[in-house]
A = this chain, B = another copy of it.
Amino acid sequence: MTRVLLTTTLLATTILAFAGLPAFADDAALQKEAAGYFKPIPSMVPAVKDNAVTRDKVELGKMLFFDPRLSASQLISCNTCHNLSMGGDDNLETSIGHGWAKGPRNAPTVLNAVFNIAQFWDGRAGDLKTQAKGPIQAGVEMNNTPKVVEETLKSIPDYVGKFKAAFPNEAEPVTFDNLARAIEAFEATLITPGSRFDQFLEGKLDALNATEKTGLKLFMDKGCVACHSGVNVGGEAYFPFGVVEKPGADILPANDRGRFEVTKTADADYVFRAGPLRNIALSAPYFHSGKVWDLKQAVAIMATSQLGAKLSDKEIEAITAFLGTLTGEQPRVELPVLPVSTDKTPLPK
């Protein structure tokens, strides 16, 4: 059996080589070059700074992630905009929040977010526990306050018990800060290892097809890797949108100056965190404005605006095919059964 399989593999390799597709030696070189730029998503949950990822914390964090009672309306949960059924985002231009308000920017995916240098398009939250507090309080998102959230959690005995278990050495464990820590711990588990690209990086040279390999080569040679590298193929540093040529105002609206709002320095004008490209095929529409639905179009825009390069249709298709190999195994999540409200729980608004 083993011998038959080996023979078939050799035969296939030979046929591929004769067909003019990349041969084994080139593949090894490509893999080596790629391994210099990228790292695979680990198969284990990563450690999180100042927040040990314990089982109790993850369990609590999962409940909170799915609990709409974190929002003033008690309709919107973290999962509403970071839908774990749909690549960890909402697949909308910009999110719909409290009162049907539309948010200013496209919701980034929560998947692998733990590997980003910082959170939000402008990196204004240094980590996921800081990020988690933002949407809960944003008027156009969950429109709630830490005080009401704490009142809500304290009114539900099961939650009080879960907080005690997750933060065992604290006298008053039910706090907004601990809620954020628990959500961060759960989100650290939302990683997607095993993509075909990661298999290739780890030495399975036939994990990508010829077009995808061409796309990977172009991605490195054309300079995409200057911003999109590392474990998340992006998400590691900040760059102006429109290094070479600013895209149209529909895609880069003038009134959203990006990281400028965080640093108030001129060099941060229209600067954004480079988009992490893991699972990018699952998270249309693209860019902070969410105005581009077609990944091929997004690639073309990036080429002209960031690299000053006009790519051919074939090149765009190859790069897009490569990006498709960044889709990893999606997290398997059993929906939590949430504890019931009591007569002390604040009512929805």
Residues of A within 8 A of B (CB): 66-68, 73-75, 80, 83-87, 90-93, 96, 99-100, 281-282, 284, 293-294, 330, 332-338, 340-341, 343, 347-348
Contacts and interface: CB of A to CB of B under 8 A. Distances in A.
A228 to B, nearest CB: 20
Contacts of A90: 68, 74-75
A86 B338 contact: yes
A98 B300 CA distance: 34
11 contacts: A68-B83, A73-B92, A73-B96, A75-B90, A75-B96, A86-B340, A91-B341, A99-B100, A100-B100, A294-B343, A332-B335
A330 B333 CA distance: 16
A282 B340 contact: yes
Contacts of A80: 75
Contacts of A341: 91, 284
A93 B75 CA distance: 11
Contacts of A332: 334-335
Given A68-B86, A333-B335, 17 more contacts: A68-B83, A73-B96, A74-B92, A75-B90, A85-B335, A85-B336, A85-B337, A86-B338, A99-B100, A100-B100, A284-B340, A293-B343, A293-B347, A294-B343, A330-B337, A332-B335, A334-B334
B294 A84 contact: no
The residue in A67, A96, A332 that gathers the most chain B C-beta atoms within 10 A of its C-beta is A96
Contacts of A67: 85
How many copies altogether? 2
Contacts of A85: 66-67, 335-338
The residue in A75, A93, A281, A338 that gathers the most chain B C-beta atoms within 10 A of its C-beta is A75
A91 B96 CA distance: 20
The residue in A67, A73, A83 that gathers the most chain B C-beta atoms within 10 A of its C-beta is A83
Nearest to A335: B333
Contacts of A74: 90-92
A334 B68 CA distance: 18
A332 B335 CA distance: 7
A99 B294 CA distance: 26
Nearest to A337: B330
Nearest to A343: B294
B75 A92 contact: yes
Nearest to A100: B100
A341 B99 CA distance: 27
Nearest to A336: B85
